Amino acid sequence: MSDGGMPDYPVPPSPMGDVVDEAWEVEPSYVKERLSAGDAGFVLLDCRRPNERPVASIEGSEFLPMQELASRVNELEEHAEKEMVVYCHHGRRSLRVTAFLREQGFENVKSMAGGIDRWSEEIDQSVPVY
């Protein structure tokens, strides 16, 4: 279990195991700056479960649930050259998704530290905390 006691859906097995590098994290304020700039070279990816997105989401983000990532990773190919930041509820799943995407050849992928929970506290209090 992770992220507030909800079941964890693992990223497919990796030859690197569960290698996660906390240097792959960016602050929510950085994400806010990138979204505000409207940069077409930036993608914000929500990797939470489908039942979480209607509760709270960040405007402008794309959605690909972690449990569907292995079978749908090809859908992200159009973003291969862009900077991508992944977020989840608290930032643990998104770090794992970041590691998986890097193993798949996406070089410029990071995780938003603290997830949407921290976003709600520091950036946009209108986004519900759950």
Radius of gyration of the chain (CA): 14
- The rounded Cα 101 to chain-centroid distance in angstroms is 11
Within 8 A by CB and 6+ apart from 2, the residues are 8, 90, 92, 93
Q: CA 72, CA 84: separation in Å to the nearest integer?
A: 16
Split at pLDDT 50, 70, 90, the class of 1 is very low
pLDDT digit string, tens, across residues 64-104: 999 999 999 999 999 999 999 999 999 999 999 999 999 99
**Model confidence at 3: pLDDT above 80:** no
**Model confidence at 6: pLDDT above 90:** no
The structure's pTM equals 0.84
Query: What is the pLDDT averaged over residues 10-32?
Result: 71
- Which fold, 27-122? Oxidized Rhodanese; domain 1 (3.40.250)
Q: Quick count: other Cβ atoms within 10 Å of Cβ 90?
A: 16
| Domain-wise residue ranges, the chain | 27-122
